[in-house]
Every structure is written in C-alpha cells, then in structure tokens.
Amino acid sequence: MDVAILVFDGMTALGATGAYEVLSRLPGCNVVFTATDAGPHRDAQRALSLVADVALDEATAPDVVVVPGGPGEIQVRHDARVIDWLREAHETTTWTTSVDTGSLVLAEAGLLDGMTATSHWLALDELGRLGANPVAERVVVDGKIITAAGASAGIDMALLLASLVEGDLVAQQIQLSIEYEPEPPFDAGSPFRAPAVVVELARATSRFVRTV
C-alpha cells in the first residue's frame, strides 16, 4: 500500500506526523512525504521543517492520500499544482483523507461536494461554505473519504484507517506500540467541553471567524 502525505509551508506538523506514525506501521505500507517541491518545508510554528522526499509529480497513483492542515492551507487551496494532483490521485485512491483544515483543501478540489466531513472546529463553517456538509465529529467516513478534526485527531483517524485496511488486531498492535492511551491533563480539547473563556479567546483570534 502506497501512502502519500502532503506537506507544505505553514502546515501544522502534528496532523501529518500523528497519522504517519500510525500508517507507517502497517505491514507492507510505503509512505512518502510529498510537496510541490521536494525538500524541507517549514511548519506553521516556524521551528520545524519536514522534508518532502519527492515532488508531487513523482507521487503518482497512491492508494492513500493524507492532507494535513494548518494556516498554510489557504495558499495550498489556491495552488493549482496541489489541487490538480489531488483530483487526479483521488480518482484511483482507496482512501482519501485529511486532518485538521486539510479538509478545506479537499473541499476546494471539489472532493467534498455534498459529502459529510469534518475539520478543525473553528473551520467547520468555512467547510460548509466550500460545499461540504460539516459535522463536529472526531473522525468522519463518507464513502472513501475520511476527514478528521483538529491536528491531534490525525492519530485517531489513522488508527481507524489501519483497522479498515488490516483489521482490528493490527490497529491495536500499532496503538500499543505508540502507547496511545491518552491522559490529557485538562478537559479542554473541544469547544463543547473547554471553559467558556478559553473558547471565546480562541474564537476572538481565529482567522476563520468573520465579523457579523
């Protein structure tokens, strides 16, 4: 199984690396990081560069595509090289997936028209404007498209995908190998559970929330 993970400047690294850490452990799975140009691409937090080993035109016909998110997605949405690659890849993928605001890129490519999908919680309205039916869920499967919520949801998405591809036992082995028994010190990971002041602060600084 060939997995292509998109990287781009301004990505949120955890969305890609969380999914990668799971999918790369699937038996017989070949993962490649790919970008418009091969080489290092700096993440949104500006201190980490992930290397794309190959350019998009070398990552042809992957079985699985993973599109992460992050503030850089806005440039990616308007980059015809990425959109064209994504549309072409999607024609033959087994699974086309996204994490975080990567779903906005799928939507821009027209892959989510009328589909049920998710995204970072602050981007759900934007996802709707782009033609999808947005839902506030952790991981959403609609046909062969799987979308995940904000960056950390890439791990959950990839474990589900692992079970769909290789069965529950393999997915559980992978979960145990990365010791994924999360213990967040706070219950503040979703807008439905975080303290109101925390949610309001996030909304006030979001690039997605527009003046009413």
168 membership: H or E segment, kind and range: helix 168-177
Site for a second copy contains 45 (CB under 8 A): yes
Least distance to a second copy, CB of residue 104, Å: 15
Residue type at position 118: T
Comparing CB distances to a second copy, the nearer of 197 and 212 is 197
12-31 residues near a second copy, rule: CB under 8 A: 12-14, 17-18, 20-21, 24-25, 30-31
d(CA 24, CA 29): 6
Q: Decide: 51 and 33 in contact? Cβ < 8 Å.
A: yes
Residue from 59, 124, 160, 165 that binds a second copy (CB under 8 A)? Answer: 160
d(CA 50, CA 185): 28
Site for a second copy contains 54 (CB under 8 A): no
Least distance to a second copy, CB of residue 110, Å: 25
The burial of 4, by beta-carbon neighbours within 10 Å (0-12 exposed, 13-18 middle, 19 or more buried), is given as: buried
Give backbone dihedrals phi and psi of 30, rounded to 5 degrees, phi first.
-110, 120
Least distance to a second copy, CB of residue 81, Å: 22
Size of the site for a second copy (CB under 8 A): 65
Site for a second copy contains 34 (CB under 8 A): no
